[in-house]
Amino acid sequence: MNTARPVPDAAGVRAGAATLRALVEPRLAGVLPAEAAHFLARLERYGPDVIELLRPLYGHRPDFEAWVEAILATAADAFLARPAELKALDARREADPTWYQHHTMIGAVCYVDRFAGTLEGIRQRIPYFRELGLTYLHLMPLFRTPDGPNDGGYAVSSYREVNPALGTMDDLRRLAADLRASGISLALDFVFNHTANDHAWARKARAGDPRYQAHYYMFPDRTTPDAYEATLREIFPEEDPGSFTFVEDVGQWVWTTFHRYQWDLNYSNPEVFQRMLGELLFLANIGAEVLRLDAVAFIWKRLGTNCENLPEAHRIIQAFNALVRIAAPALVFKSEAIVHPDEVVRYFGTGEWAGRECELSYNPLLMVELWEALATRHTHLLTYSMQRRFAIPPNCAWVNYVRSHDDIGWGFADEDAEALHIHAFHHRQYLNRFYTGQEPGSFAAGHGFQWNPRTLDMRISGTTASLAGLEKALAAGDEQAVEYAIGRILLMFGIVLSMGGIPLLYLGDEVGTLNDYSYRDDPQRARDSRWMHRPRADEAQLARRNQPGTVEHRIFNALRRMIALRKQQPAFGAAAHTGVIETGNPHSFVFVKSSADSRVLVAANFTEREQHVATGGFGDILSLNPSTDLLSERAVDLSQDLTLPPYGLLWIAVPPQASGAAA
Ligand code: GLC
């Protein structure tokens, strides 16, 4: 590495300097000229961004320039190691850079071991994924973890080794290729806020090596931890209270936001950024097309703050993204930020970086407000928040979901609730009581998670079906209640499939899987009720999807049909406009999706009673009469009030001659 050559500032590079090219060109000597030219063009386009983003974080260091060279060399080396078929994918994605916004995108997520045993088992399920119509599959963390508790894989001992019980890195590479050949993009986790306490770096830190201790936040006594903890939130107050853990080997306190065995990485150390870039690009070269950036909110710390969502965290992700655009442009990022809705949306990037941070983000707000509306039978909060908070940068997409492997925390904005005269604290208490079955008339069979006696807060565990009422209805043998439960499940699926973005199905939900209480017998899991909604797939239950008259058949086939219909409607893509309508009926949720070539009005009833919705406020949609409900294939007369049956959902398509009308 030539450390004498100065790295120009970003403005200098933008002005046309070819210095960046000079930095990496020698490394590309063995590459085909056309490929090298592509790489260099990307380097010249995004390299200045990398410098601009990293200078405020690390520019004060005397070796900054040499360090930037090393960063770019890491990107160049990853490009050199990138398999030819992934470079071909890069070219296809560069020609269609917003591929993930397409209305044909259908996502799902599962645990490898719980859904299919091993990576080979997942491969054998590809026909099932195709049957459902999936184009995106997120496999929960599948890397080597410590023996014993590992937070469902979120304590990573090595980013370059697959958990041996699941298979090998080669199996994973082959699986990625087989999925791709079946039109399914693989999404993997990048658990980059922390490593497991037995990662090689952590082991060296424990052995007393100061270089590796500087990979983490380690303190000789409680003074600094106490100062930080004065303003920190506890994530797992029941299991691992506080945010620091005493490491006996070295007599020091280490930062552990999550569990005691998950050590937070110290990104103020440039070596950590560089090494994690290497791990990130390694995963890109395995064939991951989406990286789920785990726990994005926590990656930067500053005393006196809650150490969440700090501006530096955004810069780091933006810099990673710019480096991915250089070395592996087929890859996109999905943000996992379970924080205030104002903060969630910032992970798409803001200002000049809008659309240049995470292309995708979970939409926890839509998820919690769907459940909130089901409990209250009122859609005020859902309508109000979605009118104000659904819009995102034009090249981005929400990942809309009903359930995930995690708990449900009532993360709506207090100010949205207050604007509607809802007392946020009391409302959360009510929702917790409702979903743990403690409110009179509650249909839900959920359980509390991480009760915090200081804040009186907790979150909710349970599967979609159990929370939606199916567990209680089946136990009671109440056919009407079963109808309602299925109605609720399909209503929520119908909204996440149509609202715009990638719908993400938590596998098991497509056949109405109920809570699994066996985790209580496993001492390693008994204190984490999230295992209730992480059951093993039941082959007999999956097979019942083909048996008419069963609950599984009803849910699976209705869902599959909605998926097939979605794939025919460009208006359901992420780039289409979403106009949420205040109808005056407080139990219905109505929105219009419009793209250049199609338009669909979606209307949903969140109650067990028939609802009538006046169409007067639907604007020029009225002139699109007569229209057809895609789901029932019936004609709908928009000049009359809309009639919505209990938990009814309509997808009303605009007649072809009217397509293209302004929203
Ligand atoms: C994310 C994961 C969650 C995990 C945490 C720590 O929030 O979804 O399951 O406990 O990160 O890695």
DSSP string, 52-88: HHHHHHHTTSTTHHHHHHHHHHHHHHHHHHS-HHHHH
Nearest CA to ligand 1 atom 4: 154
pLDDT of 431 higher than 70: yes
Smallest CA-to-CA distance from 208 within 252, 171, 156 is with 252
> Which of 187, 594, 100 has its CA nearest to residue 396?
100
d(CA 54, CA 10): 10
Q: At what angle do helices 33-58 and 311-327 cross, to 10 degrees?
A: 170
Quickly state the pLDDT bin for 22 (edges 50, 70, 90). confident
pLDDT-based confidence at residue 2 (cuts at 50, 70, 90): very low
pLDDT digits (tens, 9 = 90+) for 132-181: 999 999 999 999 999 999 999 999 999 999 999 999 999 999 999 999 99
pLDDT at residue number 387: 98
CA of 154 from ligand 1 middle (Å) equals 6
Give distance in angstroms: CA of 188 to centre of ligand 1.
13
222 CA from centroid of ligand 1 (Å):
26
Say which residues have a Cβ less than 8 Å from residue 270's Cβ, sequence separation at least 6: 57, 58, 61, 67
Cα(314) to centroid of ligand 1, in Å? 19
Q: Provide the pLDDT for residue 10.
A: 54
Residue 550 pLDDT greater than 50, yes or no: yes
Q: Which residue has the tokens 């338009």?
A: 599
Residues with CB under 6 A from ligand 1: 151-152, 154, 191, 258, 294-295, 336, 406
What CA–CA distance (Å, rounded) separates 357 from 590?
Answer: 31
User: Among 327, 321, 346, 281, which residue's Cα sits nearest to residue 49?
Assistant: 321
CB 257 within 8 A of CB 296: no
Q: Which atom of ligand 1 is nearest to the CA of 406?
A: 9
Give the percent of the chain with pLDDT over 70.
95
The span from the CA of 99 to the CA of 88, in Å, is 15
pLDDT mean over 87-112 = 97
Any bridge partners for residue 194, and if so which? 264
Please report which confidence band the pLDDT of residue 19 belongs to, taking 50, 70 and 90 as the band edges: low
Q: Which residue has the CA at smallest separation from atom 10 of ligand 1?
A: 151
CA atoms within 13 A on the CB side of 206: 15
Phi-psi region of 252 (alpha: psi -120 to 50; beta: other; left: phi over 0): beta
**Strand pairing of 332-335 and 360-362?**
parallel
Rg (CA), the chain: 25
Q: What is the pLDDT averaged over residues 324-342?
A: 98
The CA-atom distances, in angstroms, between 509 and each of 32, 372, 552 are 47, 19, 9
405 CA: nearest ligand 1 atom: 9
Q: What number does the ligand 1 atom closest to the CA of 236 have?
A: 10
Q: Which of 335, 405, 406, 504 to mutate to test the pocket of ligand 1 (most atoms within 8 A of CB)?
A: 406
For residue 263, how far is its CA from the centre of ligand 1 (angstroms)? Answer: 13
| Cβ atoms within 10 Å of 602's Cβ, excluding its own | 25
Residue of 258, 263, 292, 525 with the most ligand 1 atoms within 8 Å of its CB, for mutation: 258
Q: What is the pLDDT of residues 365-393, one digit of tens each?
A: 999 999 999 999 999 999 999 999 999 99
**Ligand 1 atom closest to residue 191's alpha carbon, by position in its atom list:** 12
pTM: 0.95
- How much distance in Å is there from the Cα of 455 to the middle of ligand 1? 21
Least trusted range by pLDDT, from 21-35, 333-347, 442-456, 482-496: 21-35
Does the pLDDT value for residue 639 go beyond 90?
A: no
Confidence of residue 596 (pLDDT cuts 50, 70, 90): confident
Which residues are designated catalytic?
Answer: 294, 336
The SS3 of residue 47 is helix
Q: Which of 310, 251, 247 is nearest to 57 (CA)?
A: 310
The pLDDT assigned to 329 comes to: 98
Question: Across all residues in the chain, what is the average pLDDT?
Answer: 94
Give the nearest ligand 1 atom to 154 CA. Answer: 12
Q: Atom 8 of ligand 1 has which residue's CA nearest to it?
A: 406
